[in-house]
Amino acid sequence: MVLKSLSDLKNIIAGGPARKLVLAAAQDQHSLGAVIKAWKDNIIEPILIGDKEGIQNICEENNYDISGVRIIHEPDMDKAVEMSVKMVNKKEADILMKGKVGTSTLLKCVLNKEWGLRTGNLLSHFALFEVDTYPKVIAVTDVAMNIAPNLQDKIAIINNSVSCLVRLGYKMPKVAVLGAVEMVNENMEATLHAALLSKMNQRDQIRNCIIDGPLAFDNAVSLESAQLKGIRSEVAGDTDLLLMPDIEVGNVLYKSLVFFAKAKVAALILGARVPIVLTSRSDSEQAKYDSILLSAAASK
């Protein structure tokens, strides 16, 4: 099974229970719009933590009916995030979502040693894109959390993403480890990592997926391009997951897909106690709604 579109996520969660989702620093229009839509669709039961007046004003201006939704007033952004994380820590909520707060502020709370959401695994960011020029959904990692992952981190990032894809119904997802070129170049660390990861996969040191690399972006997503370059690869042109060399490359690809290619996106942090809905503050309401779908599908 592979996902053709992000709306396929609805089939995965159909009939499941509504998950308790806590929105941290909830006074954010796109986040509130997405949360309320997902609530009306019976996907989640929301808890809103943030500036109550700000939340109510946004809801009034946009005709969002939030009667019956639990709101906890905490105007201080940092305290609202801390309270949200603690609520998940105490198992009072199943999903954490970032509202009007910076990514690193939220992640620092999530990583708090006393009351955060660590599991002992590396946490990593996972994004799913639906783009008209590719025949299926394509996952990209890590574009927002791990800044300059080393080889060990990349193994953990692949394992987090592959486990998520398997939960979504994939059997042996195909993983392309990206570099600037498809040959190993000792001066380009990403190509060395890619070759090692591919060999570790062949030797079953990384399981449940097929890894190939280094692949440049063109041969990862286009078989024709790979054939023109004479590359024999099970992954080329049929990639399910792109592993980025570092956060800069990953984040630029994310934003390019969204702003230039008009891709739809859903994104999460994986590896914590629960899925964390983490999109960029500039992402659309649709992206936030699709991310909630993904979080529910990933925690089914």
Does residue number 26 form part of the binding site for ligand COD (CB under 6 A)? no
Cβ neighbourhood burial of 131 (10 Å; 0-12, 13-18, 19+): middle
Rounded to a whole number of angstroms, the minimum distance from the CB of residue 70 to ligand COD is 28
Buried b / exposed e across 255-280, counting CB within 10 Å, b at 16+? eebbeeeebbbbbbbbbbbbbbbbbb
Does residue number 122 form part of the binding site for ligand COD (CB under 6 A)? yes
Rounded to a whole number of angstroms, the minimum distance from the CB of residue 251 to ligand COD is 5
**Closer CB to ligand COD, 21 or 265, in the complex:** 265
Does residue number 211 form part of the binding site for ligand COD (CB under 6 A)? no
Does residue number 111 form part of the binding site for ligand COD (CB under 6 A)? yes
* Residues in 179-208 that interact with ligand COD by CB under 6 A: none
Residue 184 CA to residue 192 CA, distance in Å, equals: 6
Strand 44-50 and strand 19-24: the pairing is parallel
- Residue among 2, 29, 37, 103 that touches ligand COD (CB under 6 A): 103
128, 154 contact by CB (below 8 A): no
Which range binds ligand COD by CB under 6 A, 43-51, 107-115, 158-166, 214-222? 107-115
Q: Which residue has the tokens 């955060």?
A: 116
What ranges in 145-277 are assigned the alpha helix state H? 151-167, 189-202, 217-221, 223-228, 247-259
Long-range pairs for 200-204: beta carbons < 8 A, 24 or more residues apart? 200/155, 201/175
- Residue among 108, 136, 167, 273 that touches ligand COD (CB under 6 A): 108
Does residue number 119 form part of the binding site for ligand COD (CB under 6 A)? no
* Residues in 129-188 that interact with ligand COD by CB under 6 A: 144-147
- Which residues form the interface with ligand COD (CB under 6 A)? 103-104, 107-108, 111, 122-123, 144-147, 251, 280
